[in-house]
Amino acid sequence: MKFPIKIFRISGHSMEPTLKNGQLVFIFTWFPAQPKDIVVAKIEGTTIVKRLKNWSGKHAVLEGDNQKHSTEKIMVLGNSIIGKLLIK
Amino acid sequence: MKKLTSLVDKLIPKAHAHCDVPCGIYDPHRSIIGALTVIRMMDIMEDTEKHIQEAENKNESALVHQNNMQRAIAVKEEHAEIVKHEIRVIWGDYFKPEQRQQYEDLDNLTHQIMQLASKSKQSADRKTAESLLEKVNSFAEIFWKTKGIETKKVKAPYKPEAEIVIPVL
């Protein structure tokens, strides 16, 4: 059984103003993410944090909150999502 | 206390929010669009050449058509380079050694794409550009196979309306 809470430190600006560079976040891993949740996903060895826009079949569409810095959507396999933001 | 804080900080993993397509996210779609654009530009160049001929036959100024020709050539050049860049990045950064062994033709296919993209810059031969798209489509099929995602071929909904490979999501 996986541990319910994971802690990460934010690196970068694509989720500002919601999450700032250097900020600590607590991620809840037990329940599936829903649209509008902020999620942490692991892709090809890199851990990223984005907002879940919607599900497209087995894939999750992610996007950064900072529209100046992050304008493209990213599509990832649903099982690459580690968890969703609990506390920031 | 500072040392303890520093140690704890080192133990907390980072979640990256620093770019739109983070390290590890690859998609051959841009290379497909690039190859389509090369074909489209060649078609535009062929049409524009006819307009230039017509203007010259009428002893009229062909300047506007010559301008269009130069612009189409520039865009063809740019997008052939986009194809090379995108394929090079996916081949070099995404494919693991075991995948390159599994798909034995991948390295040769990548080299062919590089050569066809260069040839497309050097010439106005539509068949070269069509071969480029065909090879890029094959590359895309291999790419999506390594992700366990099926692909299908569809007609692009815009000129040159050529067949492209897309993932089935």
Report the distance separating Cα A10 and Cα A26, nearest Å.
11
Q: In Å, how far is A48's CA from the nearest CA of chain B?
A: 4
Report the percent of chain B where pLDDT is more than 90.
73
Query: Is A25 in Cβ contact with B24 (below 8 Å)?
Result: no
Residue A43: closest CA among chain B residues belongs to which residue?
Answer: B24
> What ipTM is given for this predicted complex?
0.74
Number of alpha carbons in the 13 Å side-chain half-sphere of residue A43 = 25
- In sequence order, the 6+-apart residues with CB closer than 8 A to the CB of B77 are B121
Phi, psi at A5, each rounded to 5°: -120, 135
CB–CB of A81/A33 below 8 Å? yes
Quick one: average pLDDT of A36-42? 92
What is the rounded radius of gyration, in angstroms, for the C-alpha atoms of chain A? 12
Query: Is B94 in Cβ contact with A49 (below 8 Å)?
Result: no
pLDDT tier, B21 (very low <50, low <70, confident <90, very high otherwise): very low
Q: In Å, how far is B135's CA from the nearest CA of chain A?
A: 24
- Among A13, A44, A59, most B C-beta atoms within 10 A, so best to mutate, is A44
To the nearest whole number, what is the mean pLDDT of chain B?
89
Residue entry with tokens 């500002």: A16
Apex CA B158: angle with CA B153 and CA B163, to 5°?
Answer: 20
Quick one: average pLDDT of B16-36? 76
Q: What is the pLDDT of residues A4-36, one digit of tens each?
A: 889 999 888 788 889 988 899 999 998 889 999
Q: What is the pLDDT of residues B38-89, one digit of tens each?
A: 999 999 999 999 999 999 999 999 999 999 999 999 999 999 999 999 999 8
